[in-house]
């Protein structure tokens, strides 16, 4: 009897990105049933927009005009041509969808191969026996996500949520149903790549990689799970940092383990704490001399944990990397586009570089969005931006029944496995605000015994992490108290602070000394260019129709005005209103960040809501939907500077806090001075100080300095050691700010960069260049600068071919708090 030699060849991957079209199959379509070219990856809105069949959803009041799209079933089709050689050269052909959004039936040559209903996972289908030589029909028929969610809500039971449509009843990005900063799209489409994988004998099915340091060296462990068509012996080789280990795999084995020891590695550090060396782990599966499959992971060697040991004042939530406590300077991240398939590697890199340039070291991926692409996590690894990844549950009670239950487990397993090797991954979190909601938002009564998601947060997710990635820290929710206290307890774990924006003024941030702040923020409009590119109201006012469409927060404009009036009067003209709200947003977050930072190490970090926007909108973002930096980003940059000084009230006294987030001691002389607004010195006090590395000190300001004779016309400064802080004794609206008498000079640096020197003849508060008003592509490196009389500041402006001083000094460009006070 002659043995049959198995077919052995390398896995080949064919990307199926061209030749697709899409049509409306059922529902209230306003474009008929014509076929239009479809982009894959993409979604239906982008296809209809490219075909000229719908207006831009981001512009004016088009959002409501396009709501019908979410009620329509959309069918995507293509023809897959297969040659005889392609069909015969491999034993197995598998269709791989990296992401389908969301409810769809997949057929090949008229045969149904799957019904799917989860945006947050991938799918792999064996189509070997369905393919034939020539053209093969591939159809992905999407069903209305709105109708599906409504039907599932009835089947599973209605549960509490903050918005009308049941985003909790479908495994789809929650914010695609609209949020208090987001457009409702209800999109459908093949939103991530599609491939045809062809292979024989054996391939890599899943690969888990973990890098850990020890002494000067490190260990990389690899667990490879295999898929087979034949029982055939193989080898697995792993190479990292020039070291290779090979293991033999028995013919019937379905799993292989390898450990590679490296004698000398460099540690990976968060931004601001060191470098980010990364090492490629190359993995090859072979039979004899033939490499059948291969993959790679990039890893960094570091230890990471969160200290939650109770202390005298409660329970800390302190990040420790390589045995070094890290003060978390963070921001919350939402999808960078309401249609995430438009966000490519370059855009991720730009956005995250903006974050790093603002001295941030952690990005929290919020639970109402998506698990981001590899491009996002690659950039975080490279830039040293730690990632805090929520599982995708937000602000609602979720059913624990089928079919949701199994889908949640499948997506969690896939994404834990996908992310666990990342050097930047600092925390996995069960949900956003659901533990808090269960306690405080009336859920218990309305649920009336129904499940709400606790099984996922307290049982399923910890079990999956223990099994697949025991080295990755986990918290059941955000906010969360590790000792079992109220989930939003100030003294324990992480806290969200929203009363300031919703009901109280922003100086009341100083009423709180939390252990860790995972969310807080203040609204402001986008940059003027982004605003006016999207809204064409005549006249444009804060309450004009397009502005209201692009303000999603409940009573958002009322809260903006209420939050401003204690500090500045509400302006009547639109451009000044725009600046006042941007400035107040920046001042609010500055107040909070400097206060929290002054309480380190009791407070161990602050995560601002939010870094970015998904479309042009008035929101809490520091970078708007056009990718432009709002004054808020400069507030974050200033407050999170490696070395910072601020003046803080505690009781009836003032204190100067110096914070040193560098690896070296900070020594020098510090002078506190009280002056009149015209610059005349009234009193001063000086010290020689030393601020320890990664530490801070607080200096008591004397009573004589802290009690002005004319509160509205005097200012306190802390100066020295290449930094300065200001304290104003009254709100700006009650002060004697005058026209600052600005002058400017411009020096060309290169073809697209200029240094702009601005001098003030009188005290100027929060001087900021709204540089996009000169050119939409222009950027400036700093903002919110306060100058004493006859002082100057240099701004670096980029993205322009020409610039003159007169353009910079236009009152709508060179903005300050003085303009909101001075007559």
CA-based max dimension of the chain = 108
pLDDT at 2: 40
Domain C-terminal end among 734, 754, 785: 734
CATH number at residue 678: 2.60.40.10
Tokens 């996922």 locate to 456
pLDDT at 652: 87
Domain C-terminal end among 197, 222, 239: 197
The answer to whether residues 322 and 401 belong to one domain is: yes
User: How many whole angstroms separate alpha carbon 237 and alpha carbon 222?
Assistant: 10
Would you state the torsion angle of the CA atoms of residues 277, 279, 280, 285, taken in this order, to the nearest 10 degrees? -160
User: How many whole angstroms separate alpha carbon 571 and alpha carbon 733?
Assistant: 12
Q: Which residues of the chain have pLDDT under 70?
A: 1-6, 823
User: How many whole angstroms separate alpha carbon 763 and alpha carbon 758?
Assistant: 13
End-to-end Cα distance, the chain: 103
The answer to whether residues 634 and 655 belong to one domain is: no
Residue 3 counted as domain residue: no
Say if residues 435 and 391 touch (Cβ distance below 8 Å). Answer: no
Pairing of β 386-390 and β 425-429: parallel
The answer to whether residues 319 and 397 belong to one domain is: yes
pLDDT at 131: 97
Compute φ and ψ for 745, nearest 5 degrees.
-135, 150
Number of domains in the chain: 5
pLDDT at 703: 85
Please list the residues that pair with 387 across neighbouring strands: 363, 425
User: How many whole angstroms separate alpha carbon 426 and alpha carbon 304?
Assistant: 7
DSSP-derived secondary structure letter, 476: S
pLDDT at 1: 39
The answer to whether residues 418 and 536 belong to one domain is: yes
Which tens digit of pLDDT belongs to each residue from 567-621?
999 999 999 999 999 999 999 999 999 999 999 999 999 999 999 999 999 999 9
Residue 782, SS3 per DSSP: coil
CATH number at residue 809: 2.60.40
The answer to whether residues 730 and 747 belong to one domain is: no
Tokens 């929710």 locate to 477
User: How many whole angstroms separate alpha carbon 159 and alpha carbon 398?
Assistant: 7
Say if residues 612 and 621 touch (Cβ distance below 8 Å). Answer: yes
The answer to whether residues 634 and 654 belong to one domain is: no
User: How many whole angstroms separate alpha carbon 592 and alpha carbon 499?
Assistant: 13
pLDDT at 123: 98
The answer to whether residues 628 and 648 belong to one domain is: no
- 233-239's contacts with Cβ under 8 Å and 24+ in sequence apart are 233/287, 234/201, 234/202, 234/285, 234/286, 234/287, 234/292, 235/285, 235/286, 235/287, 236/283, 236/284, 236/285, 236/286, 237/283, 237/284, 237/286, 238/281, 238/282, 238/283, 238/284, 239/281, 239/282, 239/284
The answer to whether residues 193 and 205 belong to one domain is: no
Instruction: Note the Cα 119 to chain centre separation in Å.
Output: 18
pLDDT at 706: 87
The answer to whether residues 456 and 600 belong to one domain is: yes
Say if residues 635 and 645 touch (Cβ distance below 8 Å). Answer: no
Cα–Cα distance list, 68 to 26, 64, 187 (Å): 12, 8, 11
Query: Three-state secondary structure along 61-106?
Result: CHHHHCHHHHHCEEEEEEEEEECHHHHHCCCEEEEEECCCECEEEE
**CA geometry: angle 442, 445, 446, nearest 5 deg:** 85
pLDDT at 9: 81
CATH number at residue 319: 3.20.20.80
The answer to whether residues 658 and 611 belong to one domain is: no
Domain that holds residue 288: 201-299
| CB burial of residue 500 (10 Å; 0-12, 13-18, 19+) | buried
Instruction: Note the Cα 107 to chain centre separation in Å.
Output: 36
Please list the residues that pair with 487 across neighbouring strands: none
The answer to whether residues 68 and 211 belong to one domain is: no
Say if residues 732 and 821 touch (Cβ distance below 8 Å). Answer: yes
pTM exceeds 0.85, yes or no: yes
DSSP-derived secondary structure letter, 733: G
Cα–Cα distance list, 361 to 319, 389, 764 (Å): 12, 14, 31
The answer to whether residues 782 and 678 belong to one domain is: no
């Amino acid at each position: 009897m002659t043995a049959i030699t198995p077919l052995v060849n390398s896995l080949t991957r064919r990307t199926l990105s061209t030749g697709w079209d899409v049509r409306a199959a059922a529902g209230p379509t306003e474009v008929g049933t014509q076929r239009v070219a479809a982009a894959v990856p993409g979604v239906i809105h982008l296809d209809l927009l490219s075909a000229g069949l719908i207006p831009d959803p981001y512009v004016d009041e088009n959002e409501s005009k396009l709501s019908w799209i979410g009620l329509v079933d959309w069918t995507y089709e293509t023809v897959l041509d297969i040659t005889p050689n392609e069909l015969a050269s491999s034993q197995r052909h598998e269709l791989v969808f990296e992401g389908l959004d969301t409810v769809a039936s997949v057929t090949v040559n008229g045969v149904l191969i799957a019904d799917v209903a989860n945006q947050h996972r991938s799918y792999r289908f064996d189509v070997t026996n369905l393919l034939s030589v020539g053209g093969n029909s591939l159809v992905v028929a999407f069903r209305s996500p709105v109708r599906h969610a409504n039907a599932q809500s009835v089947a599973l039971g209605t549960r509490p949520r903050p918005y009308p449509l049941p985003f909790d009843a479908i495994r789809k990005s929650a914010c695609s149903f609209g949020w208090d900063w987001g457009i409702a799209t209800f999109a459908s489409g093949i939103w991530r790549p599609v491939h045809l994988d062809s292979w024989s004998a054996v391939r890599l099915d899943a690969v888990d990689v973990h890098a850990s340091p020890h002494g000067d060296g490190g260990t990389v462990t690899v667990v490879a799970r295999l898929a087979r068509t034949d029982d055939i012996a193989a080898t697995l080789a792993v190479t990292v940092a020039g070291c290779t280990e090979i293991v033999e795999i028995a013919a019937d084995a379905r799993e292989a383990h390898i450990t590679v020891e490296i004698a000398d590695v460099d540690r990976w550090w968060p931004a601001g704490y060191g470098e980010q060396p990364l090492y490629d782990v190359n993995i090859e599966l072979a039979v004899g001399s033939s490499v059948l499959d291969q993959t790679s992971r990039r890893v960094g060697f570091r230890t990471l944990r969160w200290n939650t040991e109770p202390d005298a004042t409660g329970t800390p939530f302190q990040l420790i990397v390589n045995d070094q406590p890290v003060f978390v300077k963070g921001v919350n991240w939402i999808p960078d586009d309401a249609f995430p398939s438009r966000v490519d590697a370059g855009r991720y890199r730009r956005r995250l570089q903006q974050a790093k340039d603002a001295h941030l070291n952690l990005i929290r991926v919020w639970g109402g969005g998506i698990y981001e692409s590899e491009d996002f996590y690659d950039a975080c690894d490279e830039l040293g931006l730690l990632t805090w990844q929520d599982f995708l549950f937000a602000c609602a009670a979720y059913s624990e029944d089928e079919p949701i239950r199994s889908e949640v487990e499948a997506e969690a397993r896939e994404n834990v496995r996908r992310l666990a090797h990342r050097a930047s991954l600092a925390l996995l979190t069960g949900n956003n605000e659901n533990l808090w909601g269960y306690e405080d938002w009336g859920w218990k009564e309305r649920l009336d015994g129904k499940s709400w998601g606790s099984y996922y947060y307290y049982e399923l997710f910890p079990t999956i992490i223990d099994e697949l990635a025991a080295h990755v820290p986990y918290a059941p929710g955000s906010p969360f108290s590790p000792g079992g206290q109220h989930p939003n307890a100030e003294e324990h774990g992480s806290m969200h602070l929203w009363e300031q924006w919703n009901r109280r003024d922003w100086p009341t941030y100083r009423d709180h000394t939390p252990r860790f702040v995972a969310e807080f923020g203040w609204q402001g409009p986008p940059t003027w260019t982004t605003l006016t590119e999207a809204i064409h109201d005549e006249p444009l006012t804060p309450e004009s129709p397009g502005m209201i469409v692009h303000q999603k927060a409940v009573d958002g404009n009322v809260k903006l005005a209420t939050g401003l009036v204690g500090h500045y009067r509400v302006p009547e003209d639109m451009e000044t209103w725009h600046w006042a709200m941007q400035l107040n947003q920046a001042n609010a977050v500055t107040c909070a960040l400097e206060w929290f930072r002054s309480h380190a190490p009791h407070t161990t970090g602050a995560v601002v809501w939010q870094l970015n926007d998904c479309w042009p909108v008035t929101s809490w973002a520091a970078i708007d939907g056009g990718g432009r930096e709002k004054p808020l980003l400069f507030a974050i940059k200033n407050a999170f500077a490696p070395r910072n000084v601020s003046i803080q009230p505690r009781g009836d006294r003032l204190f100067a806090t110096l914070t040193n987030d560098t690896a070296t001691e900070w020594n020098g002389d510090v002078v506190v001075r009280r002056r009149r607004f015209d610059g005349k010195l009234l009193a001063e006090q000086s010290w020689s100080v030393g601020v320890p590395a990664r530490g801070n000190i607080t200096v008591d300001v004397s009573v004589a300095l802290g009690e002005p004779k004319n509160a509205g016309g005097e200012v306190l400064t802390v100066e020295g050691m290449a930094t300065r802080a200001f304290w104003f004794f009254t709100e700006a609206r009650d002060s004697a700010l005058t026209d600052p008498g600005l002058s400017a000079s411009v020096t060309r640096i290169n073809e697209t960069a200029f240094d702009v020197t601005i001098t003030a003849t009188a005290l100027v508060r929060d001087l900021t260049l709204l540089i996009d008003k000169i050119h939409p592509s222009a950027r400036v490196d700093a903002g919110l600068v306060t100058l004493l009389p006859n002082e100057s500041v240099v701004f670096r402006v980029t993205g322009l071919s020409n610039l003159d001083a007169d353009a910079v000094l236009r009152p709508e460009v060179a903005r300050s708090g003085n303009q909101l006070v001075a007559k």
